[in-house]
Amino acid sequence: MLPQPWSPALGPAPVSVTTDSSPHRSQPSQSGRRVKTVHLSAYADDRGNRVVFTGSPSKSMKFTFRGENNVAYIHPEAQAKKLLVDFNSDNGVFVLGANPRPRGFTAEVRVGQDSTVRIGDGVSATAMVIISAVEGTRVDIGDDVMFASQNQVRADDGHPIFDIHTGKRINEAHSVCIGNHTWVGFGSIVLSGVQIGEGSVIGARSLVTRDIPNNVVAVGSPAQVIRKDIAWERPHLGLTPPYYKPDASTVDTSKYWRPTDSDAEPCPAPEALPDWTQQELERMAAMPAGSQAPATAEHARSSRGTARRGAGRLWRGGRALARRVARRGSRG
């Protein structure tokens, strides 16, 4: 089982992390709870919410905390074009691994009550991926997974559906696991309870509602296997030389070339957090007091500067609108 996001066993809260201050927005939610939104930096608040991170602060990732005891573990070498993580409730866990591509990954993630979303190393996406896990479920996305555009990975349907005769829920949330080096094609959606084996390809606009084994091509709605014993590689057909790739000798082959095993569990979910998460906790605990202060102060100055520039644009825009209205009136 995953450890609790925060407990005394993890040691004292580090004194060097960013705490509630002006760079972060706080407002009441519809449920009456405080909502705190922070950009990527080491962070902890009085409700047990934390961002475990020892790298350089960044505005490309943003975290919204609506409850208590939520934790985001961000690898110090993690990068994203844009990442929005919303902790809807309590006891949520989000994990993002290392990524060498500065603009290679983008996602909007919902982490619900007692739920976990874990994204491995080197995951990429052409456009924003929607990821959702609620009601104690988890979404596990392995290493080197490649998303195209308009993709969703959902452990839940977003809203409950009931049988009118019994009153029982008929669309329960179930965990999802996508294995290492899976290619999820344009417009494809992975739904609740699905496991996809490593090395597989999900064709464009497929709706994945059942398990998919390793090293296959699956397409359709619902997705079905149409080819086994395949392997794919990342080099782009048009952008990466050689510009003709008739066989495997034209690319560097990965470790994911293996026969399809339809009888094996496609994607057994990991039982523990990655080793680097504990190392990040130890590094944060060892950080000297005030070590984050310069970055936080710079963040605050940047936020104030952005607000001033926005107010200036609004004022200039208002004057321009007034002039246009006056000109129209004079012509009339």
What Cα–Cα distance (Å) separates residue 86 from each residue in 94, 187, 214, 239, 274?
Answer: 10, 23, 31, 35, 21
Q: H or E segment at 130?
A: strand 129-133
Q: Which helix (H) or strand (E) holds 310?
A: helix 293-331
Question: φ, ψ for residue 24 (rounded to 5)?
Answer: -115, 140
Instruction: Dig out the tokens for 228 from the structure.
Output: 């086994």
CA distance 106 to 111: 16
What is d(CA 108, CA 83) in angstroms, rounded to the nearest whole number? 6
Q: Reduced to 3 states, what is the DSSP secondary structure of residue 261?
A: coil
Three-class DSSP category at 302 = helix
Q: Which two tokens stand for residue 316?
A: 């200039």
Rounded CA Rg of the chain: 23
In DSSP terms, 50 is beta-bridged to 44, 71
39 catalytic per annotation: no
What DSSP string runs through 229-243?
S-------TTTSSSS
Active-site option among 159, 165, 174, 236:
159
- Under DSSP, is residue 219 helix (H, G, I), strand (E, B) or coil? strand
DSSP state of 279: H
Q: 120: which 2 tokens?
A: 């491995």
Q: Annotated active-site positions, please?
A: 159
